Amino acid sequence: MAKRLFILRHAKSSWSEADKSDKDRALKAKGISDIVNTAMRMASKLQGIDLIITSSANRAVHTAILFAETIGFPPQRIQIEPMVYQADEKELIDLIKSLSDDYQCVMVVGHNPTLTYLVNRFLANSFHELPTSGLVGIEFDINRWDEISADRVSSAFTSFEGDV
C-alpha cells in the first residue's frame, strides 16, 4: 500500500496593507487566479484526498479553501492547524508522522522556507524555493505515516504556475 502527501505553498499574498499583521495578510487577485488554475490543472492527480491541513494564517486558509472547492473537496473538512504557521521542517514531519493511518492521501498547506525544506528532505532534486501556489506530490511506499522517509519515496511530481 502507499501513502500520498501533497505539499502546497499558499498563493501570492498582499504586502500592501501595512495595518495588517503577517498572519492576517490577504491573497492578491493574481494569487487567487493562480491557485484556482493550479487546482484545475492538477485535479486528476488529486483524487482521493482524505484530509487537508492548513496553517492558520489567512492567506493559507484562503488558499486551502479555494483549492478544496476547485477540486471538489468539502471545505468543512479542512483542518486548520495553528502550529503549521511557524513550524519548522521537523515539526511538520512530526505532524505528518502522527496522522491516523486511516488517511491514505493528505495535503499540507503552508509557508516557506519550511515547505521548501520539507520537499528537499524527501526529493533528491533540491528546490531553491517552492513558489507561491507551488504544488509537490510525493508517493511513499509505506503502510503507516510514521514510516515516511526519503528512501521510501516511490514517485513524485511538481506543478508550478509558471510551468503552464
Task: Give the C-alpha separation, 155 to 55, whole Å.
Answer: 26
CB 155 within 8 A of CB 139: yes
pLDDT at 164: 42
Q: Residue 3 pairs with which residues in a beta bridge?
A: 140
pLDDT at 21: 86
Q: What is the pTM (predicted TM-score) of this model?
A: 0.94
Count helices and strands in the chain by DSSP H and E runs: 4, 6
In the block, residue with C-alpha cell 487577485:
29
Cell of 35: 491557485
CB 136 within 8 A of CB 92: no
pLDDT at 162: 54
Task: Give the C-alpha separation, 59 to 159, whole Å.
Answer: 19
CB 138 within 8 A of CB 122: yes
In the block, residue with C-alpha cell 501533497:
6
Class of domain 3-14+21-163: alpha beta
Amino acid type, 134? G
The low-confidence residues of the chain, meaning pLDDT below 70, are 125, 162-164
